[in-house]
């Protein structure tokens, strides 16, 4: 399980807004390398829950946890979302992840040309919700 403070540490590593916007505008979305900022847990049939910390401050989690508050909000992913999440390892770019999904689900993802669009949209949502970041946005890489 990832400590609660990891989410904030990963966000601090990103470059400022203007550099981030410049990098994202110049980059092809399929060439970006996503990396997870949150942990996950296994559900039935290979599906996953993303574990979003309910409290941003560790002291608040320690204070409110005894009041029967869950430490995490569980975001349920379907079969394709779970497979995509597991393929995000900080090494593969979005194009490689799309190709792996096309190979894993050849009949379910129809037509195959739309797979990269679907994965790209899913990555955008994950990034906007701060569930993932991209290696190109880290300070050492920019």
Q: Render pLDDT for 79-132 as a digit per residue (tens, 0 to 9).
A: 999 999 999 999 999 999 999 999 998 888 777 678 888 999 999 999 999 999
- Hey, which bits of 13-134 come out as E strands? 34-36, 39-42, 48-53, 72-76, 132-134
Q: Which residue's entry shows tokens 């981030």?
A: 20
- Residue 136 has which token pair? 């190109």
pLDDT in tens, 7-24: 444 444 567 778 877 877
CATH class of residue range 6-137:
alpha beta
């Amino acid at each position: 399980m990832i400590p609660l403070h990891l989410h904030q540490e990963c966000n601090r590593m990103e470059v400022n807004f203007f550099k981030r916007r410049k990098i994202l505008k110049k980059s092809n979305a399929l060439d970006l390398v996503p990396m997870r900022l949150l942990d996950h847990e296994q559900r039935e049939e290979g599906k996953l829950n993303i574990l979003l910390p309910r409290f941003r401050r560790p002291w608040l989690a320690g204070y409110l946890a005894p009041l029967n508050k869950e430490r995490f909000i569980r975001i349920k992913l379907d079969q394709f979302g779970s497979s995509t999440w597991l393929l995000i390892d900080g090494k593969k770019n979005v194009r490689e992840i799309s190709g792996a999904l096309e190979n894993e689900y050849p009949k379910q993802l129809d037509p195959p040309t739309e797979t990269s669009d679907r994965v790209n949209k899913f990555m955008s949502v994950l990034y906007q919700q701060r569930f993932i970041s991209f290696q190109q946005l880290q300070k050492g890489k920019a």
